[in-house]
Amino acid sequence: MIKEVQSQTVSLLNFHLLKPPKGNLMFEKDLLKNKTIIVTGGGTGLGKSMANRFGELGANLVIASRKDDVLKTAAEDLRKTGAEVEWSVCDVRNPGDVAELVSFTKERFGTIDILLNNAAGNFICPTEKLTEGGFKVVVDIVLNGTFNCTLAVGKEMIEQGKGTMLNIVTTYAWTGSGYVVPSAAAKAGVLAITRSLAVEWAKYGIRTNAIAPGPFPTEGAWSRLAPPGLGIEKALKNRIPLKRFGEHVELANLASYLVSDQAAYINGEVVTIDGGEWLKGAGEFNELDKVPKLAWKAMSAFRKGKK
C-alpha cells in the first residue's frame, strides 16, 4: 500500500517540466565574438563541452592540457563550430608550461580575454589510506595549477585593463566531502582565490567568478569517481532532487553567460548548478519527501484533532 502511494506521489511530481532546454535559442549568435578564451582541460569532458559552446558563440579558443593527441583531436572537433581553435600542451602544475601557453595565445590571437580554469584531477579514497603523494598531486593540479594560470594570465589582463576569469569548483568546496579530501581542500582553495581576486583585481577591470557543478557524467569523472559495480552512480542520482544528472549544454550555457559582457556586474559569485543536490543533504527535514501522501493526511487529521 505504502509503495503504491509513494509511486503515485512521485508520478504526480512535475519532473517532466524540469528537463533540460532543447534547441540553441538562448544567446545572440555572436555573444563571444572576438573573445579569446583559454580553456584548461579543454580537450575532454566538461571543458570540451564549454569550449564547444564558446566556439558556437564566436570565440577564439586555445585548449590546454597534457596530452597532445587528445588536444589535437578535440581541436579538430571544436573547429566544426566555425571557431579558430589552437591547442597548447601544458601541465598546469608547471609555471614554465603556463608561460608558454600565455605567450603562444598572445602571439596567435593578440589578447587573452577569458581564462577558464577547468583542469583537475581527483580520485576516491578513504582518507586514512591516502599517501602524501596522492594528496599532493591533486592539490598541485587543482589549486597550484589554477593559481599558476591565474597569475600568468592575470598579469596580461592587468596590462590590458580587462579580462574575465571563471573557475570550475564543486559544491563540496564549501561543504567538504569524505573520500575526496584532496579535491575538497583544493577546490575550497580555488573558491578562496575566486573571491579574493574578485575584490583585489576588480580595479584592473578583471571579473572573477566560479561555477560549482553537481554531477555531470563525463568519462574522466565517472571512471575515477563512479566506477561500475559499487552502486555509486545510482546513489548519486538519488541524492538529486531533480532526479537527473546535469546535461553538458546546461553548464556550457551558464559558463557562456558568466564569461560574456552580459554578466559585466557579476563578480565574486559562485553559481551552483546541481539540480538542488547539495541542499538536499543540508536541510534537516529534507528526507521527509519519503513520507507517503496518506501519512501526511493522517498527521494533519491528528493535528487538527488536538486543537
Residues that bind ligand NAP (CB under 6 A): 40-41, 43-47, 65-67, 70, 90-93, 118-122, 141, 145, 168, 170, 213, 215-216, 218, 220-221
Report the relative pairing of strands 60-65 and 114-117 from DSSP bridges.
unpaired
What residues form DSSP beta bridges with 62?
A: 38, 86
What is the length of the chain?
307
Name which of 293, 209, 303 is nearest 259 in CA terms.
209
- Under a CB-based contact definition with an 8 Å cutoff, are residues 55 and 83 in contact? yes
- Shortest approach of ligand NAP to residue 289 CB, angstroms? 23
Q: Which is nearer to ligand NAP, 35 or 93 (CB)?
A: 93
Q: Which is nearer to ligand NAP, 110 or 281 (CB)?
A: 281
- Shortest approach of ligand NAP to residue 108 CB, angstroms? 19
- Under a CB-based contact definition with an 8 Å cutoff, are residues 207 and 156 in contact? no
**DSSP helix/strand/coil, 80:** coil
What stretches of 201-247 show up as alpha helix (H) in DSSP? Answer: 219-225, 232-238
Residue 140, all three cell numbers = 598541485
Q: Does residue 172 carry a catalytic annotation?
A: yes
Among residues 172, 179, 204, 257, the one annotated as catalytic is 172
Residues 6+ apart with CB under 8 A from 139: 182, 185, 186, 189
Helix H or strand E encompassing 115:
strand 114-117
Q: Which is nearer to ligand NAP, 71 or 157 (CB)?
A: 71
Q: Which is nearer to ligand NAP, 59 or 143 (CB)?
A: 143
Give the angle 58-62-65 at the CA atoms, nearest 5°.
140
- Shortest approach of ligand NAP to residue 157 CB, angstroms? 20
- Shortest approach of ligand NAP to residue 183 CB, angstroms? 7
Q: Which is nearer to ligand NAP, 104 or 204 (CB)?
A: 104
- Shortest approach of ligand NAP to residue 72 CB, angstroms? 11
- Under a CB-based contact definition with an 8 Å cutoff, are residues 78 and 48 in contact? yes
Annotated active-site positions, please? 172
